[in-house]
Amino acid sequence: MKCKKCGAEIESKLLYCPSCGEAVQLVPDYDVLEEELLSKVVEDKRKAKEDKFASGVYKVKEKEEQPAPVSISTKKKSTLKDKILSIEDKFALKIAVFVGIVVIGACIILPLLGSHTYDRVMNRAIAAETDKKYAKALSLYQEAYEMDETSFEAMYGLGRMYYHIKEYKDAIGLFKKALKIDPDNQKLYSYLLESYDAINDDDSIYKLADSAPNDAIYDLISGYIVLPPTFSHTGGTYDEDIYLDFTTNDNNQVFYTLNGKNPTSAGKLYKKSIKISEGTTEVKAVVRGPEGDYSEIASEKYTIQYGKPGKPVVSPDGGTFTDKTMISIQVPSGAKAYYTWDGTDPTENGTQYTEPFPVIPGSSILSVVIIDSKGNVSPIYRGEFDYHQ
C-alpha cells in the first residue's frame, strides 16, 4: 500500500506512514455516516463490557493508567469537518464579494443610466444651446435624435445646431423632415430660408413659395426673393371673354406679354385689366423688385371659344290654324332673334323679333335664327304654318 500524501510504501499492519506520519485510510471510500455508526457500535460494546465488570463477571485487573489512544476515525472526521467548514467559509466569502460588486456597480451605473434618458439629454442640449455652446449642444441633440428619430424637438434642435456651425446642407435636410411634422411653423421656415439663402439656392426658395401653406408664410418667403405675380384667372378654356389682372407683394411692377415672348425684355407694364378674347392667348408676366431684380416668369395659356346659341324655341311649333294665332320666340339675354316667312335664311337683314307676332294667312314656312352679342349664329329653326279663315 502507498501513502496518499507522500507516496511511500506502507506495510499492511501499520496505521501511519513511516515517512510522513499520515494516517492510513483502511477503507477505500470514507463516509462520515458510516464512521458515526461504527463509533456508536464500539461505544455500545464498551458500555456492555463495563456493565459485566460491574456485575462481577470480569475481575478488574489493577494496571497503570494509560492515556486514551486517539481514534484514527475521530482524527479523520475532525480533518474532514475542517475541510467542509473551510469550503463553506470560502463560498460565503465569494458570495459576499459578488454582492458587494453588484451593489457598487449599481451605484455607479444607475446614475449614468438616469443621466442618459431622452428628457435629461434634451434638457442638457437646450442648456448648452442657450449658453451658445453649439458644438456641445449638437452632440447632445444628436444623442437625443438617435434615441428617437421621430422627435420634432430633436431633429429641429439638431438642425439649428448645424445651422449655427454653418453646415447648411445638413441643417436643410433636418428642417425639411421637421416641416413634415409641423408644416405651419414660421420659425422653422425662417431657419430653412436662411439656410437656402446662405448657399444661394433661390430655386428651392421658389419651390417653398409654391407650396406655402398660408399667406403668413408666403409673405415670409417674399422677403428672401422677388415672387412672381399671381394671375386672377387660371389658364384654360372659356366660352366668353375674360379680364385678366395681376397681384404682387409690396406693389411691385409687373411686366407682361400676350404673344409668349420674354416679359423681362419685351414686356409691357401692367396698369389695368387685360381683355382676353376669342382664340388662344399665352400670357407671360414677371415682377421687378425695388432693387431692379426680377422674379421668375409666370405664364398661363387661355383659349376662348364662344359657344353658339342653341336652336330657337318657337311657340307654337307650326301647325294648321283657323283662328288668329300669335307666335312667340325665346331670346337669350344679350342676343337677338330674326325671322322670315318665305323660307329664306334669316339674317340681321330679316325681321327682328321684339314681341309676339301673328301667323300670316295661307301656307308659309317660318325661319328663325338667334345671334348673340359676339355675333355667334344659332342653327336655323324652320316650321310650317297653315292659316285658313
CA distance 191 to 176: 10
Instruction: Please check the confidence at residue 186 and state whether its pLDDT lies above 90.
Output: yes
pLDDT of residue 237: 95
**What's the CATH architecture for 121-222?**
Alpha Horseshoe (1.25)
Look-up of cell digits 311649333: 317
Instruction: Please check the confidence at residue 145 and state whether its pLDDT lies above 50.
Output: yes
Q: Which of 81-95, 253-267, 292-306 has the lowest mean pLDDT?
A: 81-95
CA distance 56 to 51: 9
pLDDT of residue 355: 96
Residue range 133-159: mean pLDDT, rounded: 95
**Comparing 313 with 83, which gets the higher pLDDT?**
313
Residue 29's pLDDT band (cuts 50, 70, 90): very low
As a 3-state breakdown, the chain gives helix, strand, coil percent values, each rounded to 5, of 40, 20, 40
Instruction: Please check the confidence at residue 165 and state whether its pLDDT lies above 70.
Output: yes
Instruction: Please check the confidence at residue 10 and state whether its pLDDT lies above 80.
Output: no
- Angle at which helix 152-164 crosses helix 134-147, to 10 degrees, equals 150
Give the pLDDT confidence of 195-213 residue by residue, as tens digits: 999 999 999 998 998 899 9
Residue 85's pLDDT band (cuts 50, 70, 90): low
Look-up of cell digits 416641416: 179
How far lies 163's CA from each of 78, 112, 191, in Å? 80, 30, 8
Residue 50's pLDDT band (cuts 50, 70, 90): low
Total-model pTM? 0.49
Q: Tell me, what amino acid is at 34?
A: E
Q: Classify strands 351-352 and 268-269 as parallel, antiparallel or unpaired.
A: unpaired
pLDDT of residue 89: 66
pLDDT of residue 81: 55
Residue 108's pLDDT band (cuts 50, 70, 90): low
Instruction: Please check the confidence at residue 190 and state whether its pLDDT lies above 90.
Output: yes
pLDDT of residue 60: 46
CA distance 198 to 163: 10
Give the pLDDT confidence of 309-350 residue by residue, as tens digits: 999 999 999 999 999 999 999 999 989 999 999 889 998 778
What percent of the chain shows pLDDT beyond 90? Answer: 57
CB atoms within 10 A of CB 1: 13
What is the fold, at CATH topology level, of the domain defined by 313-387? Immunoglobulin-like (2.60.40)
Q: Where along the chain do its domains lie?
A: 121-222, 230-304, 313-387
Instruction: Please check the confidence at residue 87 and state whether its pLDDT lies above 90.
Output: no
pLDDT of residue 301: 96
1 in Cβ contact with 15 (< 8 Å): no
CA distance 353 to 338: 6
What is the fold, at CATH topology level, of the domain defined by 230-304? Immunoglobulin-like (2.60.40)
pLDDT of residue 66: 53
How far lies 361's CA from each of 97, 325, 368, in Å? 132, 10, 18
Helices (H), ranges, the chain: 32-55, 72-115, 118-130, 134-147, 152-164, 168-181, 186-198, 202-210, 215-222, 263-266
Mean pLDDT across the chain, nearest whole number?
83
Residue range 60-73: mean pLDDT, rounded: 49
Residue range 347-361: mean pLDDT, rounded: 92
pLDDT of residue 294: 92
Decide if 230-304 and 313-387 have a common fold.
yes
Instruction: Please check the confidence at residue 250 and state whether its pLDDT lies above 70.
Output: yes
How far lies 357's CA from each of 250, 286, 360, 361, in Å? 61, 57, 9, 13
224 Cβ neighbours under 8 A, 6+ residues apart: 193, 196, 197, 205
